[in-house]
Structure formats: structure tokens, C-alpha cells
Structure 1
Amino acid sequence: MTDFSLPNTDPELLQRFARGDQQAFAAIYGQYHSLIYNYLLKFTKDSTLAEDLLHDIFLKIWDARERVDIKVSFTAYLYGLARNTVITQLNRMNLYDAIRGEIMKDAELELHPRHLMNKVEAREYEELLQKAIDNLPPQRREAFILCRQQGKSYEEAATIMNISRNTLKQHLSLSVKSIKEYLLEHGNISLLLLLAFFS
């Protein structure tokens, strides 16, 4: 059982954090980093994933800093957020596994996923994909459009965007990841079969 009584976060530190004090946030991060990381690691069994989730959690509490009730146990709040975040991620990974199995099954039968979709489903997919693209930050969206929709090479797209090839690849990789996550959240299995063609 997790001990929510320790550490005891200084109320004044929490008040500074709630007002947007970045030094207070850094102090809270330092205080809780190892505890939350180890808590996540118990569930994920993956150090990289645990670290990624840890950063997501602290970004969430920073974004919600003005809404955090500093009168209740901050530790309990943080562990609750960590628990919900890791459960959501593990459920998402289970869904990825299910989708991957469906994709492999169809690949063995030499079926193109679009052939499994009727016109309504295809239109729904296109609309969902466009929403996912629209939700991307500007540079990731531009990288995705240039490379995946307009068919430009990394070099061409990097030149157009005035960035290095490696930076372009990073934007593209992050855009694909974001689109997959959006489709996983908002789509159904028949739509998600098309994820194979993002890889």
C-alpha cells in the first residue's frame, strides 16, 4: 500500500507552485520524481515508458496548477494521477496489441485494410484523420503534410521548412505518434487497421 503521508509537501511551496512559480515546480519535481517513477515502473516494467509517463504526469500537474486543491493531500493527488495515467497507457497498449494482431492476420490474407471498409467507414476515417492532423502543432503538421501527403523527401521537406533533416524526421515521427494516439482514442478497430500504413 502506498504511503500518502510522505513526503509532506510544504503548503507554502504548493501555494507558490499554484501561482506559477517555476522554482517551486522544480522543487516538487525533485521531491517526487523517484517516488512516482518507481510507482510507474512497478506497473510498466519498462524504464523508458515509466520515464515518459512521469514527464507527462508532471506536465499535467503544471497545466492544472491553478486548479490543484492544496488543502488536500498533494501526494495522494499525484499518486492518483499517476495511477490513472498508467492504466490509460496500459489499456492503450493492449489495444495496440489487438490492432497489430488484426493487421498481421489481414496481411497474411493479402487484404488491403481499405478493402475491409465501406464508403461510410472510409469517409469517417478520412474525417478522423484530418482532425488528427489539424490537432498537430504547426511544425509537426507541416512535416506530416509535406512527407506523407505530398510525398516529398526528407531533404525537400527540410529545405522548405528551413530545418535540418534530423529535425524534420523528429517532427515527422512525433506527428505520426500523435496521429496514432488520436485515432486510438477516437476510432474503432476497422478504422485503426489503417495505422499499419503510418509506420
Structure 2
Amino acid sequence: MIKNPSLFLIPFADNTEDQLLWSAFQQGDSKAFEKLYKRYVRVLYSYGYKILPDASVIEDLIQDLFIDLWQSRERLSEAVSPKYYLFRSLRRRIYKAEKRHINRFRELDSEDSDILPPTVPIEYEIIQQEGETQQRKDLEFHLKSLPLRQYEALTLRYYQDLSYAEIADILLINEQSVRNLIQRAVLKLKHLALALSLFLFLFLL
């Protein structure tokens, strides 16, 4: 089992290097494939677990994803963004898993869900000023108050640097819905009087 998933979320990854690794892996380079796996297994687990908090299911889905990738590598197209491809593929598998276990897992489309993500990817240099520790705690507390879909859209946009179009494809909604989710999340954080500079959200201005 992967422990402390939030500790392994990475803010961005070098897409150029990812593309080189992806191309090499498609040509049968097992070391390139292993490097991609090690780079993304923990961040995918953390992302998946927040959506579907069943460790064994998420681990199986990720393992199956990478097994299928290796077995079908020669048929794969050149991924514009390997990270986007991996997130989208895992999200699709989670959708299918939820349909198979509909009595066990909550519906994803409820904006008013009271179920909160278990952890928040706080570990990156979010705050560079005095009082950093307390502000991080405040940020974690307020982010946990967001509905899951708002939280998911926000973290994919600002922690994984995915485009609105990519997020829309992952969440199976349109781009405007993604923007609405993020804007509502920001408004809610402001409404909660989050004591931060909120530089994370300046791109929305």
C-alpha cells in the first residue's frame, strides 16, 4: 500500500522530458517505462484515492493501467501530454469501477457532497512568508470544505497545470463547467475569509 499519498503529489512535471520518455517507452525501452511509472505512480494514487477512497481498488486500477500501457505500447499514439493521458486514463477506470461497485461508492456528480477528500497536496512551497505553517493549516482546512468536484478541478488546474480543455475531458464535462467549478471554489474560499494572498488563483482575474 502506498502510504501518505499527499506527500507525493508533484506540482508540475517537465512535459518535454515526459514526451521523450513516452516515445522511448513506445519503442520498447523498459527503463523509460519504469521511470514514467515511478514519476507518476504516487501522484496518480493520491489523485485517485481522493475520488475513490479505497486503497486496494486504486492500487489495482493503477497497476492495470500501466500493464495495459506496456502491452499496447506499439498501438499508442504520441501523447501530447503523457501526464494528461495518464490522469484521463485513470479517471476513466475509476468511473468504470464506480459503476461496478455502485452500492459501495458515492456518486461523483453531487456538488453538495459532504464527503471530503482525506488529504490535501499542501507540501509544495505554497506560502513564502512568515507564518507559513499556520497558513498551510488554514489552507488545508478550507480546501477540505470544498465539494469534491470543485476540489478536483482546482487541484488539476493549479497543482497539475492541466488546461481547462484537459480537465474537461478528464471530468467528462465542458470547459465552461470547469471554469465554473474553479470560480465557485475560489468564491467559497474567499467567503470563508481564507487568510492568504491567494496567488494560486490570480490566473482567474
Q: Structure 1 length normalisation: TM-score?
A: 0.43
Structure with more helix by fraction: 1
| Structure with more contact order per residue of length (Cα contacts < 8 Å, sep ≥ 6) | 2
TM-score under structure 2 length normalisation: 0.42
